[in-house]
Amino acid sequence: MMTSYPAPINPIRTRIGWIGTGVMGGAMASRLLSAGYSVTIYARNPSKIVHLQSQGALLADSPVDICKNDVIFTMLGHPSDVRQIVLENLIPFLNQNTVIIDHTSSHPVLAKQIFDAARERDCWAVDAPVSGGDIGAKEGKLAILAGGNEDVVKWLNPLFDVLGKGTFMGGPGKGQSCKIANQIVVGANMLGLSEGLVFAERAGLDKKKFVEAVKGGAAGSMVMELFGERMIERDFRPGGFTEYMVKDLGMGLDVGAEEGDDVVVLPGAALNKQMFSAMVGNGDGKLGTQGLITVIERINGK
């Protein structure tokens, strides 16, 4: 397949369908609208996308209506949502040559099933979860981790470039595997930052000075850049829900068993899943993952 499949992407010609307009999905759809693309959106609650309609978005009455477009994006919550909407309510009605991109953090096995189902209809599916949070979505700086057919991913680059930077990770499911690995690293960094800030406060340090002093050294990370000040200012508005981090880490811990392979032993990821699960248990599952610091504070009697 050539990268011109089936015709080069063009804002005037390429019709975009979108399902999933939460914190991340809404910001991503907004960027495509700003870039001049025609975007049709299906939303269970249309009142929540008035701001996107003001940018020119069209409203679909059902997921089936989305299938009329050339490229369809989904950004959903859980693998069960992906199975229901993508596998059961989109793919059976796709037109030939449609490409469907699932940005949801989902399961590699499900991504492979979707890819195979799409090919049966002479279509393509790309699993392309993202990293970068709400700020990355708004600024078009997301890391897009794409699995599927390499030529199709190359063909999609004009769209990915509006949202951030796309990287082809391998065959179907590899994007999802990369996102799980990403979350294992992010979760570990988030826990370390939370504990470091709690320790710094107990030691009588100015927390802002602490972050400023160490961020240029080995302790520095993108997690610190994105979430250090938010933690200090008690800003727990979600870029991604904590309950989704629990989901992602859980997939990392059981993905081998799901595929019939040996489970990878990940003691750090298991501990982090417990910590984020404690946050959910405290009623904070809809807060941002930076709220993990509240769990460490509670353990320390604050």
Instruction: Please write the tens of the pLDDT for every residue from 153-172.
Output: 999 999 999 999 999 999 99
Kindly tell me if the per-residue pLDDT of 196 is higher than 60: yes
Using CA atoms, how far residue 23 sits from 83, 152, 161, 261, in Å, is 21, 27, 19, 35
pLDDT of 302 reads: 86
Checking if the pLDDT of 258 tops 60, the result is: no
- Look at residue 255 in the predicted model and tell me its pLDDT: 74
Q: Do domains 15-172 and 177-300 have the same CATH topology?
A: no
pLDDT in tens, 232-256: 999 999 988 999 999 999 999 987 5
Domain ranges of the chain: 15-172, 177-300
Q: What is the mean pLDDT of the chain?
A: 94
Across the range 196-215, mean pLDDT stands at 98
- State yes or no: pLDDT of 66 exceeds 90: yes
User: What is the model's pLDDT at position 112?
Assistant: 97
Mean pLDDT (whole number) for 137-145: 97
Instruction: Specify whether 112 is catalytic.
Output: no
The pLDDT value given to residue 1: 41
* Overall average pLDDT of the 133-162 stretch: 96
Catalytic residue among 174, 179, 247, 273: 179
Does pLDDT of 282 surpass 50?
yes
15-172, CATH topology level: Rossmann fold (3.40.50)
> In the chain, pLDDT over 90 holds for what percent of residues?
90
pLDDT digits (tens, 9 = 90+) for 180-194: 999 999 999 999 999
**pTM, entire model:** 0.92
pLDDT of residue 2 exceeding 50: no
With a cut of 90, say whether residue 262 has pLDDT above it. no
What's the confidence (pLDDT) of residue 265?
86
What integer pLDDT is reported at residue 172 of this predicted model? Answer: 98
Q: Which CATH number is 177-300 given? A: 1.10.1040.10
- pLDDT at residue 4 above 70? no
Q: What percent of the chain has pLDDT over 70?
A: 96
Confidence of residue 5 (pLDDT cuts 50, 70, 90): confident
